[in-house]
Structure 1
Amino acid sequence: MPLLRDDALSVAFDHAASRYDLLVAANPGYHGHLRRSARRLGLADAGSGARILDLGCGTGASTAALLSVAERARITGVDASRGMLDRAEAKVWPPGVRFVHASADRLDEAGVVGPFDAVFAAYLLRNVPDPDRTLAAVRAVMAPGARIAVHEYALSGKPVHRALWTAVCRSVVMPLGRAGGDAGLYEHLWRSVLAFDTAGEFAARMRAAGFTDVRVLPLPGWQTGITHTFVGRVAA
């Protein structure tokens, strides 16, 4: 089965949107890990003027994580799935939060312009057709010295972590997806992680895109070696 891309992936997320929050809530550490990655942006001292771009915001879990560390920031959440954004917009947010329906590599066409002081991208880069093009588009809207945190399924490269990911998907994730009528999306999740960069390869991709001070930070729990935070910045 080929990976889902562009409109096909957006449609799959649209279909899964009503059940998405329930499913991720069953994933131990999901929200805590997003908050940990948000803290790694180093924005605890951000004032009300800080502008944060929340790419691939989905139903707003990453937006809530950002608000937990920068409650007065102005956050623009962007997602290519209208259904996921509908769920996000139905929640209660402070006045500084807004949502935009757009692809991550076509921000300017949707009126999403910088400069942003920080970018948070959770579970996004693995799903775009051209990660290099997306990273370039993201870097173009960041202010000098701005920070980025990419929270992503990117395997360590060790066979044990590849095997664990497959075991979890086949025994838990994919059966839950089938039960909810979203088998294709969660098979895509499994396959897309296997096909994506290892953690080291993605860090190298970020450096090649012009980000500096790139670091790969692990996450705890069963996701160790499977999910990482990648942090970096734009040169001042």
Structure 2
Amino acid sequence: MTRLAVDAVPAAFDSAARGYDRLVGANPGYHRELRRSATALGIARGGEGQRLLDLGCGTGASTAALLAAAPLAEITGVDASAGMLEQARRKRWPDNVSFVHARAEELEARGPYDGVFAAYLIRNLGRPDPVLAAVRGLLKPGARFVAHEYSVRDSLVATAWWTAVCWSVIIPGGVLVTGSADLYAYLWRSVLEFDGVRALRQRMRRTGFTDVRVLPAAGWQRGIVHTFVGRA
């Protein structure tokens, strides 16, 4: 089992893309919690006349959550993994949904947006602060950024529970579906090493977001997954 560097993560997702939906589909509450986080953007009128950005859209699970929250909005899904985007594009989408192969750092000219959603993205960035500052610059004044993210460092109980779930379910499941443990061992380790809730909240404030608040997930993910909401 090799230790993935951050720069190697998009390629690892390329390799895992075919089995990714099977794995997350087996996670109780995965899609429900994404939808809950997407509603925290506070998009009114079904998103009519508004532009939304889904950063790190993967195979489109977070895009589907955004679409459920704002079915009339123009939604753009962005991901650095070509393999994940290929899986996303194979699904049936309405004409108001499109996908772009790019890194989050490359989107400065595409704004402004009425909301930006990022599910499980910040933890995978080598330098989160410049990207968060760039995201703030993509938003219209007063618009919200919502990050749906793992964060366990502030809780010994959450850390222990996360480790138990990873080594009993997630990593073996990843090996069964993809034949490799590397990406899922990286997932386990990266969550342990990532910001705690307080640190990520402070990071968002430091990069220019205001009214930053945190909402908990439900079910087995409570204390492990959180919704971070900030305003430009």
Normalised TM-score (structure 2): 0.96
Q: What does 1:36-185 correspond to in 2, within 5 Å?
A: 36-108=36-108, 113-155=110-152, 157-179=154-176, 180-185=178-183
Mean CA deviation greater in 26-35 or 45-54: 45-54
**How has the CA–CA distance of structure 1 residues 55 and 38 changed in structure 2, closer, same or farther, with 3 Å as cutoff?**
same
Deviations 1:15-70 (A, max 9, x none): 10000000000001000000000111111434421100100000000010011110
Pairwise CA distance, 1:11: 1.0
Q: Is the 8 A contact 1:55 1:77 kept in 2?
A: yes
Q: Give the SS at the match of 1:105.
A: helix
Q: Give the SS at the match of 2:212.
A: strand
- Partners of 1:40 and 1:156 lie apart in 2 by 23
- Partners of 1:85 and 1:72 lie apart in 2 by 22
Q: Give the SS at the match of 2:98.
A: strand
Mean CA deviation greater in 137-146 or 195-204: 137-146
User: Partner amino acid for 1:139?
Assistant: R
**How has the CA–CA distance of structure 1 residues 220 and 129 changed in structure 2, closer, same or farther, with 3 Å as cutoff?**
same
Residue 195 of structure 1 is matched in structure 2 by 193
Which runs of no fewer than 5 residues in structure 2 stay unpaired?
none
Runs of 4 or more above 6 Å deviation: none
Q: Is the 8 A contact 1:115 1:143 kept in 2?
A: yes
Q: Is the 8 A contact 1:121 1:151 kept in 2?
A: yes
Q: Give the SS at the match of 1:92.
A: coil
Deviations 1:182-201 (A, max 9, x none): 31000000000000000111
- Partners of 2:118 and 2:192 lie apart in 1 by 19
- Partners of 2:180 and 2:230 lie apart in 1 by 34
Pairwise CA distance, 1:74: 0.3
Deviations 1:108-145 (A, max 9, x none): 4xxx5100000000000000101101101111111111
- Partners of 1:57 and 1:96 lie apart in 2 by 15
Computed over aligned residues only, the root mean square deviation of the Cα atoms, in angstroms, reads 1.2
Pairwise CA distance, 1:4: 2.8
- Partners of 2:207 and 2:38 lie apart in 1 by 21
State the aligned residue count: 230
Residue 5 of structure 2 is matched in structure 1 by 4
Q: Give the SS at the match of 2:31.
A: helix
Q: Is the 8 A contact 2:54 2:63 kept in 1?
A: yes
Q: Give the SS at the match of 2:43.
A: coil
Q: Give the SS at the match of 2:152.
A: coil
Q: Give the SS at the match of 1:59.
A: coil
Which runs of no fewer than 5 residues in structure 1 stay unpaired?
none
